Amino acid sequence: MLINNYSINNFPMPKVSVIIPSYNHEAYVCEAIQSVLDQDWASFELIIVDDGSTDGSLEVIQGFKDKRILVISQENQGAHAALNRGLSLAVGAYISVLNSDDVFAPNRLATLIPYLESHSEISLLGTYLEIIDEKGESVDVKHGFQDLPPWPLSKVEKSFRGGKDLREALWGENYLATTSNFVFRRKLFKAGLAFKPLRYVHDWDFALHATAHGEIGLIPQPLVKYRIHDRNTIRENEAAMIFEILWLLAVHLPKNISQKWLYAQAPEERISQLLHSIYAFGMDRVLSTMLLQGISQHPEKAMDLLQRDDPVRATYLAYIQAQLDDLDIESSRRGVFSPISGFFKRFFNQ
């Protein structure tokens, strides 16, 4: 169902399309929408795709009558589908994403869009993040990969996290943290780059694909508020999250770790960086087996693993869950293998 409160014929072509994928955030979506409407940057459209919310989210969304807003209501298909639907309808030269539980700083677009316009080499641009709780209270600030890491590394100074290269740091972790931190040119989508059917790492996967089209940029200001609450997706299924992260590493690392990169400096230094950067949650056998499957060279095999009824996927998930079940409870609580450690462990009660 298409609910059209915005007609492109009544306004100049907007330079920016802001996309809000909405799902069951009745308590937060009003603040998210208002933070877009309050932007210092005037030339934008706001596309809201409600992905089959079962609470009052859609009613809240429909309460906004601003003519810059286009509202789409669809059956639940997942965040990736909602984002791709919004992208297919966008007309702006630039895309900015905001999840329905997060909040833009008033000057976010006015800061990032001119920067992208003057830096043609940048394919994906993000900022620092302000972490807020369910009440909107500030908890902390995440400064890219400098702090609040998603998981611990034994010797950070020897890892990509200890360097300054934004692209290399992204190989080891998603320091952008959320699609709410994404601003990019719409031509990426027109060139075929879309969000894949991944529940936990669709943002990281998109960012890594974007590096094939240009550089990553990071503005050192916290221009988006990332909300931590009891409905965050990360809390749902630890085994499934680990599976997706290992899938992503198996797909992207062989594409990015080229012989040219490896021998651009002393190879022992590069190997040391890799050894101290790749984090597999103690599931090295799973990552090794995926690499042996060659899913990086065979996209069809990679996509098969994302199908819920795929038997190979089920085998991986059963193995990961068995390993998690066998972990000593106290070790798990310390975050030794849990992805809910580091950055997230600070804000969740385990």
- The 8-class DSSP code of residue 12 comes to P
Can you tell me which residue has the tokens 């193995």?
319
Output the CA torsion 133→134→137→142 (10° steps).
Answer: 30
* % the chain with pLDDT above 90: 83
- On the CB side of 57, how many CA atoms lie within 13 Å of its CA? 26
Q: Are 154 and 249 in contact (CB under 8 A)?
A: no
Lowest-confidence segment of 43-57, 122-136, 251-265 by average pLDDT:
251-265
H helices of the chain, in order, are: 29-37, 57-62, 79-89, 108-118, 166-172, 187-190, 202-210, 238-256, 259-262, 267-277, 284-293, 299-304, 311-326, 329-333
Query: Nearest CA to 247 among 213, 210, 196, 180?
Result: 196
Statement: residue 347 has pLDDT above 50: no
Read off the pLDDT of residues 190-235 as tens digits, 9 standing for 90 and up: 999 999 999 999 999 999 999 999 999 999 999 999 999 876 666 6
- The 8-class DSSP code of residue 54 comes to S
Read off the pLDDT of residues 248-305 as tens digits, 9 standing for 90 and up: 999 999 999 988 888 888 899 999 999 999 999 999 999 999 999 999 999 999 999 9
The torsion angles phi and psi of 200, rounded to 5 degrees, stand at: -110, -25
Lowest-confidence segment of 146-155, 243-252, 308-317, 330-339 by average pLDDT:
330-339
Query: Nearest CA to 259 among 270, 250, 248?
Result: 270
pLDDT of residue 345: 52
pLDDT of residue 349: 40
3-class state of residue 98 by DSSP: coil
Domains and CATH numbers, the chain: 2-235 (3.90.550.10), 240-333 (no CATH)
CA distance 33 to 248: 31
CA distance 341 to 322: 20
pTM metric for this prediction = 0.91
Ranges 124-133, 233-242, 264-273, most confident: 124-133
CA distance 37 to 343: 30
Task: Place 153 in a pLDDT band, splitting at 50, 70 and 90.
Answer: very high
Strand partners, 126: 218
β 2-4/69-74 pair status = antiparallel
